[in-house]
Every structure is written in C-alpha cells, then in structure tokens.
Amino acid sequence: MQPENFPFPVSDTVFAKLELYHALLLKWQKALNLVSPKTLDDAWNRHFIDSAQLVPLLEGESRTLVDIGSGAGFPGLVIAMMRPDLEVYLVESDERKCEFLRTVSRETEGRITIRNTRIEMLGDEIVPDVVTARALADIKTLLDYSAGWAAKNPALRCLFLKGRKGSEELSQARAFYEFSAAEVPSKTDPEGVVLDIRDIQPV
C-alpha cells in the first residue's frame, strides 16, 4: 500500500519497485554510506518524494535523461521507475555505488544504463533532452558539465534540486552563462527549490 504522504499517482507495480529500492537502500547503507544516516528514518520524504517531484515537470517529448553524480540513484533511478518510457543514464564515478545501482536495477527489472565514469569523460556519446542533479555541485559547475550538451541540443533542460542557496547560486552562474530559469518550490524542503534551466549559452 502506498504511504499517504507519497503525493504522486503510480501503479502498484511501480510502487512495488520503489518499495524494493527502499529496502535495498536500507540494507546496503549498513556497509556503504549511500545517503546521510540521519535521513534514513525519513527516506521516503527526503529521497524518494524529493526525487519524484521532478516527474510532473518532465515534458512529454522528453526521451533521454542523464542524471549526473547519481550516488544512490536520486533522482535518476526514481524517475526511471516512474517514467519507464524514458532512456535514463545514471552517471556515477564511485564503483561501489554503481554496484548498488546495478543491484537495484537488476532486482527491479529497470531499464537504465549505468555509466561508471566521471561526468566530463562522457563526451558527446550521449546527447540528452534533460539533465538532472541533486546534492552534487553549485549551479555554475553543473552548467559547466551541461554546456556541451546544450550546444548540441538547444532544447536541453536542466532540472536541479537545490537548497536555500539555489537563488544565490543562480545569480553567481549568470557571470558565466546566459540562461532562462524557473524556480519551483520544493515539495519536501520549505527552503528548497527545483531549478528548471533552459536556453544555456556561455557568456
């Protein structure tokens, strides 16, 4: 049964996969520091719902999504479970975390591609429609990672989950990039935002 505080409609099949993901997170966390231990008791809200709030923001024509610095799979793996029509790439440089992602993918029969590499090593082999990131770096650095894709796909969207410093980081990034940005209030953090960034061009 879905918890009352999971605010997004999903099928029983999809929710069963999310539950298995949650169980595997708790199991693997004992040996591998996947997320902050203090967030485990509220993992549904802090990690799963926080990631799931990006799904309603995705446009229907989106086909390829790259989640950079995936870590334990948030938000990319949650999005992949809720939007199985998307081609999702999870990019993570830590081999141990990649092994966790592979395990979740295998046990939930997920349709994802895991790339155990540094973001800057991806090059042009993937040109996404959407880039996501959570708790990875400041906005300027995230745009550094994304600018090459934006040059090849002017319609690229970046959906970045940020805390209370999101607006400040946006202002700092404008010294290096021109872009349009919408700030969507976070559903899980009263001080947080989802930044929807488009039209990225170097200054």
User: Which residues, at least 6 apart from 114, have a Cβ–Cβ distance to it below 8 Å?
Assistant: 70, 89, 90, 92, 98, 101, 102, 105
Residue 4 lies in a domain: no
| CA angle, 121 then 127 then 131, to 5° | 85
Query: What are the pLDDT digits (tens) for 133-183?
Result: 998 999 999 999 999 999 999 999 999 999 989 999 999 999 999 999 999
Task: Name the residue type at position 56.
Answer: P
Which one is predicted more confidently, 110 or 51?
51
- Note whether residue 105 is domain-resident: yes
**Span 55-80, average pLDDT:** 94
Helix, coil or strand: residue 34: coil
CA 60 vs CA 56, 85, 117, 162, 163: distances in Å: 10, 10, 29, 24, 27
What's the number of domains the chain is made of?
A: 1
Nearest to 167 by CA among 154, 181, 156, 178: 181
Q: Which residues does 99 contact at the CB level (< 8 Å), separation at least 6?
A: none
Does 22 fall in a domain?
A: yes
Residue 5 within a domain:
no
* CA nearest to 138, candidates 162, 108, 107: 162
- In this structure, the number of other CB atoms found within 10 A of the CB of residue 157 comes to 22
CATH code for position 132: 3.40.50.150
**CB burial class (10 A; 0-12, 13-18, 19+) of residue 119?**
buried
Domain housing 187: 12-202
Asked if residue 66 lies in contact with residue 89, where contact means CB atoms within 8 angstroms, the answer is yes
Q: Alpha-carbon distance 109 to 151, whole Å? A: 34
Instruction: Say if 2 falls within a structural domain.
Output: no
For position 1, what pLDDT does the model report?
53
3 domain residue, yes or no = no
* Domain-located, residue 181: yes
Give the separation between CA 11 and CA 170, rounded to whole angstroms.
36
Average pLDDT over residues 66-75: 96
Domain-embedded: residue 147: yes
74-127, pLDDT tens digit by residue? 999 999 999 999 999 999 999 999 999 999 999 999 889 999 999 988 877 899
